[in-house]
Amino acid sequence: MGTILIIEDHEDINLMLAEALKGAGYQAKSLFTGADGLTEIRNTHYDLILLDIMLPFLNGDELLKEIRGISETPVIIISAKDKVGTKIDLLKLGADDYITKPFDLSEVVARVESNLRRSQQQQKNRFRYKDLSLDDQTKRVTVNESEIDLTAKEYMILELLLKHHGKLFTKANLYETLWPDDDAGDEQTVKTHVSNLRSKLKKANPAIEYIETVWGLGYRLYKE
């Protein structure tokens, strides 16, 4: 059903959460320090993270910042801090949900299920290639988690290439798709937009080439 990482320094609470999640059909791993949690997240993918705030060696809020720098994995905060301001601050830092201690285990399992459903739906609208991500719902494009601004035509070109990864698009194909009501077929216009798109991607990450030109034919994403 899904893999859950629990980062909670109180052993009894941690193991109780793990047992409840395993009973609901999930795979759960328990860690007890923020430093161990960060190492694990850097090396292993999880579908969701349950995160305490008061952790040894690396506080939960600092760990949350680190997580959001490298991952979009849903994070549910579990904390005894019940002030509204604390909840708002952590949600602004990137938490997806907040559960206050003491809690009911059935509520935790229900929140996990709800956040996983939402994450899975968002993933259906998201297209990835290397460190490039395009969200078809929000129309947001990021390179290594940093957003880049594209024109409408640049976005449409990138969307086509990502949705049809590996497919070769001729300049004529692209022109007919982007300008369906124009029969002039100015392929130089397509070339200009592709060039501008390439420049923005290269500025975001100079180390990676994203769009391949197949001379005399057209464009596609480089094979991974």
Q: pLDDT tens for residues 134-145?
A: 988 889 999 987
Of 90, 124, 158, the one marking the end of a domain is 124
Looking at the fold, whether 90 and 45 belong to one and the same domain comes out as yes
- The confidence score (pLDDT) of residue 71 equals 82
Structurally, the chain folds into a number of domains equal to 2
Of 98, 124, 150, the one marking the end of a domain is 124
Question: What CATH code is carried by the domain that includes residue 27?
Answer: 3.40.50.2300
Of 69, 93, 124, the one marking the end of a domain is 124
Looking at the fold, whether 56 and 85 belong to one and the same domain comes out as yes
d(CA 8, CA 185): 60
Contact between 193 and 182 under an 8 Å Cβ cutoff? The reply is no
Residue 224 has pLDDT above 80, yes or no: no
- The confidence score (pLDDT) of residue 105 equals 96
What average pLDDT does the chain have?
Answer: 91
Q: pLDDT tens for residues 112-130?
A: 999 998 887 776 778 888 8
- Structural domain of 161: 127-221
Is the pTM higher than 0.85?
no
- The confidence score (pLDDT) of residue 183 equals 62
Q: pLDDT tens for residues 70-99?
A: 888 999 999 999 899 999 999 999 999 999
User: Cα angle vertex 74, ends 53, 49, to 5°?
Assistant: 50
